[in-house]
Amino acid sequence: MSDLTARATVRDSAIAVFARDGFSASVRTIAEAAGVSPGLVIHHFGSKDGLRAECDTHVLEQTRNRNLASLREPVGDDVSLDHRLADLADAGPSLMYLLRSVQQGGDLACTFIERLVADTERSMAVGVAAGRIRPSLDEAARARYLVAQSIGAMLVDLAVHPPPDHADSAAIVAAYAQRTMLPAAEYATHGVLTDTTVLDAVVAYRGRGR
């Protein structure tokens, strides 16, 4: 196994272990999952914190690429919903890792979330430029709200529907998608309110410097 392949294997195994067990998981547990020695983990990443930092970066990159792909190739004639759902299930470890990071809290979680918000704002800008997403009165605030809404919705769903097997992240994400994709798609497409009365009031309120 080359150093590059070993490093990626350890990183991916760590993401899956952290997603399953949380960030208290030991280097030894991660090494066992990757089929390597604990010493090799430290050789590649320096420490458990160094490993987590690389996992953070990889999960954010995967999330960003997945969001951009969904904006550039929306579900339709060329991309089936089944294909998109399969991709989402494959991303199960990354999504569960993301939730674990939020649940843990602390400085690392705050930094992770800020990076996720920035990536989301950039992804939304791509969608706006492509004409697939409506522009916002406040693009940064919308990105932050979307991150909070999506993460919060999944955390609530997992509390109401505790997964029988935390190791099966693909099944967890697939079940969540089945429960939420209709209301989520409807809300994203049509919204809720039938006129702009509430929005107009909020804009006027903010315009008064409040």
Cβ-count burial of 91 within 10 angstroms (0-12 exposed, 13-18 middle, 19+ buried)?
buried
**pLDDT at position 77, please?**
53
- Confidence bin at 4 (pLDDT 50/70/90): low
Q: How far is CA 161 from the centre of its chain?
A: 19
Tens-place pLDDT, residues 148-199: 999 999 999 999 999 988 889 999 999 999 999 999 999 999 999 999 999 9
Closest CA to 119 of 147, 91, 97: 147
> What is the band of 75 on the pLDDT scale with cuts at 50, 70, 90?
low
Give the model confidence (pLDDT) of 22-73 as tens digits: 999 999 999 999 999 999 999 999 999 999 999 999 999 999 888 888 877 7
Torsion of CA 182, 185, 188, 192, to 10 degrees: -30
Between 63-77, 130-144, 192-206, the lowest mean confidence (pLDDT) is in 63-77
Under DSSP, the state recorded for 167 is: T
> What dihedral do alpha carbons 105, 111, 116, 117 form, nearest 10°?
100
Query: Helix, strand, or coil here: 58?
Result: helix
pTM of the prediction?
0.84
Residue 118's identity, in one-letter code, is A
